[in-house]
Amino acid sequence: MSLPSSPTGAPEGSPVQPANRTPTGLDAYHDEKIEPIPIIDKDPMGYPRLAAFMNSDENFKLYRQFGYVHTRVLLHLQYELSSMEATLKNMDGADDRDEDRQLLLRSQDASIHDNPRREKLLKDFRGKLKEYDELLLLTYQLSSLPRPRPRDIESLDNFMSSKRPLVEREAGFINHGEDFVSPTCKPESGRVDDVIEGFLIRHPLWLTKVPH
């Protein structure tokens, strides 16, 4: 005797298997793990509150690289090294034109003994070159850091405008968005966290604890 069939075609009483279907955006939403939004108003207003806000999201850790100042200092060091280089070449040329002193260009022992000015200059080069090279490499590394997303700059700007954690003369860094780098900036995700971040940009006070 055969069992009666259900509308799905399976015998009545047997477990119903869910039909295959294409995942929707809601599935992605439910699968997404949403981290709890930290409450930052427990920190004192001022730099502590600003630090708490910036630390509340990896994308809010925005810092100035001071690209202009780095470049100015590098140019100054470059000028100093160029001047020292010209002095060294003048010394070498003077010794080369004097047959009695040409040995100084062929022997370090002779040069150290008879031209201490050149030896001092070469020692000065070591410190100056080290200073220049280190700053040049660090500047390159800084400029290679990711640039923050415009909406992350806007989030920080909104917080600074609405909460005013700093005195005006010290809050001006926020006006240099083109100079910001973000060591911890994450790539665009295009998922639920983007929606949340967009909401926080439009409603920055939502991070503040509501009094009971």
pLDDT in tens, 114-160: 889 999 999 999 999 999 999 999 999 999 999 999 999 999 999 99
Mark whether 58 and 151 lie in a shared domain.
yes
Pair (184, 91) in one structural domain: no
Distances (CA, A) of 20 to 17, 30, 137: 9, 18, 56
Angle at 150 between CA 183 and CA 178, to 5 degrees: 70
User: How many independent structural domains does the chain possess?
Assistant: 2
- Please tell me whether residues 124 and 71 are part of one structural domain: yes
User: How many CB atoms sit inside 10 A of residue 104's CB?
Assistant: 22
Would you say residue 194 has pLDDT above 60? no
Q: Is 206 left (phi over 0), alpha (psi -120 to 50) or beta?
A: alpha
Whether 19 is in a domain gets the answer: no
Residue type, 97: R
Average pLDDT over residues 18-24: 56
Q: Are residues 109 and 172 in the same domain?
A: no
Query: Is residue 93's pLDDT more than 70?
Result: yes
| Confidence label for 188 from pLDDT (cuts 50, 70 and 90) | low
Give the model's confidence band at 44: pLDDT under 50 very low, under 70 low, under 90 confident, else very high.
very high
For residue 157, the enclosing domain spans 38-63+146-205
pLDDT band at 29 (very low <50, low <70, confident <90, very high): very low
Last residue of a domain, one of 97, 117, 143: 143
Three-state SS at 64: strand
Average pLDDT value over all residues in the chain: 82
Examine residue 155 and state whether it is found in any structural domain, yes or no.
Answer: yes
Is residue 210 domain-resident?
no
Whether residue 117 is found in the same domain as residue 152: no
Average of pLDDT values for 190-196? 56
The reply to whether 17 falls in a domain is no
Within a domain: 28: no
Residues 73, 59 share a domain: no
**Distance linking the first and last C-alpha atoms of the chain:** 68
Residues 80, 96, single domain; the answer is yes
